[in-house]
Amino acid sequence: MPKLVTWMNNQRVGELTKLTNGAHTFKYAPEWLANRYARPLSLSLPLQRGNITSDAVFNFFDNLLPDSPIVRDRIVKRYHAKSRQPFDLLSEIGRDSVGVVTLLPEDETVTRPIMVWEKLTEARLEEVLTAYKADIPLGMIREEILMGSSEALRDRYDFMKFQVFQWLIGSTDGHAKNFSVFIQAGGSYRLTPFYDIISAFPVLGGAGIHISDLKLAMGLNASKGRKTEIDKIYPRHFLATAKALKFPEVQMHEILSDFARMIPAALDNVKASLPADFPENVLTAIETNVLRLHGRLSREYGIK
């Protein structure tokens, strides 16, 4: 049966195997399990002896690949991969997969790559970036989110605070894959800094998108179903979500009231730090819509 050796920081971690029926299995290497710094590839693949045969194997390695079916088809065509299955695609491009993990055939070893790059023009960069579109966002993560973190209280607080921030700035790309964790020795973990943060407010108006079209990637709890539309979200929806996630109500009130109190001054500080040639239309779009949503917080918490 074909195997791919999984490496991390030039250390052999284990083997990914594709069975004759197409199923994927993974086994940690004995030397990795004996390493004092050993950590699981994923929280869904805890350190253990023997073959791991759960769906988590397929899901983890599938997640190392581009989301877009179109991009995967291009990989198949370009590298003559046997199929779009994770094992077959990683057999061709596993040397340069997402993150620190590298997958190689059994007869190859990790070598230091030769750094080669191409300087892109703006036109070429735009051409490359347009090939990568955000996929349909995922739903809110399971209850008791981040309770297993080594810094659970801080991580849960920061996560909930960030949900409010994304709403205020009109950030629509905060799906589950844009949140990551540091996996530490022994399998403990903690939340990484937030990333991929951008406001959609500058594209509103004219022939562009209407604010009613903007949606959060991860919906909030509501009395009926879930709320994703940014313009239909109010403080009560964050409180309902906090309750569903077993996040303390008093802390959720604290987060909301802090934003109500701090947003005007924060906007002033940002404006003062911008270069003189910063596009006025971008600034105006963000400031106007942030203050409009901020009004819902200030009315709720009695802050002018």
Q: Which residues are catalytic?
A: 173
Crossing angle of helices 86-93 and 69-79, in 10° steps, is 60
CA distances for 91 relative to 12, 149, 164, 297, angstroms: 16, 33, 41, 51
Measured CA to CA, the distance from residue 68 to residue 132 in angstroms comes to 8
- ∠ Cα 261 267 270 (to 5°): 135
- CA 59 – CA 176 distance, rounded (Å): 14
Positions of E strands within the chain? 3-8, 11-18, 24-28, 51-52, 101-105, 181-183, 189-191, 215-221, 226-229
* CB neighbour list of residue 166: distance below 8 Å, 6 or more residues apart: 174, 197, 216
Tokens of 245: 């996630």
Phi-psi region of 8 (alpha: psi -120 to 50; beta: other; left: phi over 0): beta
Question: DSSP states of 242-260 as a string?
Answer: HHHTT--HHHHHHHHHHHH
**For the chain, how many residues are written?**
304
In the block, residue with structure tokens 């109190």: 261
Give the integer Cα–Cα distance in Å for 52 and 48. Answer: 8
The secondary structure element, H or E, covering residue 31 is: helix 30-33
